[in-house]
Amino acid sequence: MYQDEEEIKNLLERVSELYLCEYCEKKKLTVQCERCGASVCSHQECSILFPHHNNSVLAICKQCQNLYNQEIKVYIDTEKISNIKKKARTIYFKQKEKE
Ligand SMILES: [Zn+2]
Ligand SMILES: [Zn+2]
């Protein structure tokens, strides 16, 4: 699915833990969603993963992914991951204000 899928797989083995995925509810290698902290596995139905600095993986869970589905594809470059985070935070706070 991703060009660097193989790289992500290798990284994932290093940083993930065997834990219950909050989406598919199976015990799998999971990582924490960068935004909400949910434990998600690497299945594409559960999360989207990016290679991150220092050989780590940046994971965004399915739910958070929906919040900025469009932008995330544009900013797949790891150099711009921090921009995604800023954007995600902005979206999050905007929604909070509406509540
Ligand atoms: Zn899962
Ligand atoms: Zn999340």
CA–centroid distance, 41 to ligand 2, in Å, is: 12
Ligand closest to 27 (CA) is 1
Tens digit of pLDDT for each residue in 26-72? 999 898 998 899 999 988 899 988 877 777 788 889 988 887 665 55
Sequence-distant (≥ 6) Cβ neighbours of residue 28 within 8 angstroms: 18, 19, 21, 41, 42, 43
pTM (2 decimals)? 0.58
Cα of 16 to ligand 2 centre, how many Å? 16
Residue 52: in which H helix or E strand, if any? Answer: strand 47-52
Say how far apart CA 18 and CA 66 lie, in whole Å: 25
User: Residues with beta carbon < 5 A to ion ligand 2?
Assistant: 33, 35-36, 38, 61, 64
